[in-house]
């Protein structure tokens, strides 16, 4: 049997990220539109260039989910596929993946395809990919349905918190009034938000300055779940210095197992904007 883990590009992993084994990873890219230009969120996309194009564009930018056919092509490459998508409350990607699964099963009913709504993005999806690989490689012939059930349970245990300090994209898309966004930026105020159990975004706080922001994130993590032995994935948008400082604070104040730092891909950079930080745990 061959096994394939599929995710959309809001997961901040490249296809080469999995350690060599009998399980492969395929990343299906979303598309980002800035003015008249369209960017494919693949390994060749330059994040600094994307951010510069977005900053220069006066009109709203947007994103588009992959087609069902793109997911179908990924599912056709293995006997068994497990797919993780960005929250269905933020994108149509989950529905596209389900349609892709149905297309494949009509032609190849012997295949097994499981599509799981991460109800999040970024680091939480990375953790799901890692868990899926570990479960699939734990036995020579894993029970596919049992693995999928374990992954759904694991998904429900994951949390996401993130912080923004640039609000240009929110303003251009009409999700924040210019006066409010400019005032927050001028005062050095960072918005802190989390993902709800339903996969929606909830603003849970604001903090002024870097140190208070990082302390607020750690306190939120402490209050949201028991972090003992938790794996943490910290994605940053062109903010490695900030990510390293937040990692240091997490390791000092939380009983986590480890903290992995990754760079945001295109889709997460689109929403986090420059200096944004996204924590999955």
Per-residue pLDDT tens over the stretch 242-257: 999 999 999 999 999 9
Q: Where exactly are the structural domains of the chain?
A: 3-30+65-157, 160-280
- CATH number for the region 3-30+65-157 comes to 3.40.50.10440
pLDDT tens digits, 41-85? 999 999 999 999 988 988 878 899 999 999 999 999 999 999 999
Burial class (CB in 10 A: 0-12, 13-18, 19+), 42: middle
| Structural contact between residues 204 and 193, judged by C-beta atoms closer than 8 angstroms | yes
What pTM, to 2 d.p., does this model score? 0.92
Instruction: Tell the CATH topology of 160-280.
Output: Hypothetical Protein Tm841; Chain: A;domain 3 (3.30.1180)
What pLDDT, on a 0 to 100 scale, did the predictor assign at position 10? 96
3-class SS shares of the chain: helix, strand, coil, % to 5: 40, 25, 35
pLDDT tens digits, 191-215? 888 988 998 888 888 888 899 999 9
């Amino acid at each position: 049997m061959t096994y394939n883990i599929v995710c959309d590009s809001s997961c901040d992993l490249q296809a080469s990220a999995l350690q060599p084994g009998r399980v492969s990873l395929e990343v299906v890219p979303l598309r980002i539109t800035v003015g008249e230009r369209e960017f494919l969120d693949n390994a060749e996309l330059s994040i600094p260039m994307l951010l510069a194009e977005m900053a220069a564009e006066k009109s709203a930018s947007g994103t588009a989910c992959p087609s069902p056919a793109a997911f179908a092509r990924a599912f056709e490459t293995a006997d068994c596929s497990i797919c993780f998508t960005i929250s269905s409350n933020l994108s149509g990607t989950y529905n596209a993946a389900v349609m892709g699964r149905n297309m494949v099963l009509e032609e190849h009913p012997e295949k097994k395809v499981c599509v799981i709504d991460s109800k999040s993005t970024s680091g939480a999806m990375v953790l799901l990919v890692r868990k899926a690989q570990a479960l699939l490689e734990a036995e020579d012939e894993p029970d596919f349905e049992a693995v999928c059930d374990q992954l759904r349970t694991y998904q429900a245990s994951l949390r996401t918190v993130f912080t923004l300090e640039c609000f240009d994209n929110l303003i251009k898309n009409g999700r924040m009034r210019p006066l409010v966004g400019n005032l927050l930026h001028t005062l050095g105020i960072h918005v802190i938000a989390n993902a709800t159990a339903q996969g929606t975004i909830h603003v849970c706080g604001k903090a002024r300055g870097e140190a208070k922001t990082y302390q607020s994130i750690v306190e939120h993590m402490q209050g949201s779940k028991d972090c003992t032995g938790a794996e943490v994935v910290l994605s940053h948008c062109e903010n490695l210095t900030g990510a390293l400082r937040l990692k240091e604070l997490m390791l000092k104040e939380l009983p986590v197992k480890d903290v992995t730092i990754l760079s945001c891909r295109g889709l997460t950079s689109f929403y986090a904007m420059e200096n944004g930080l996204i924590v999955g745990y």
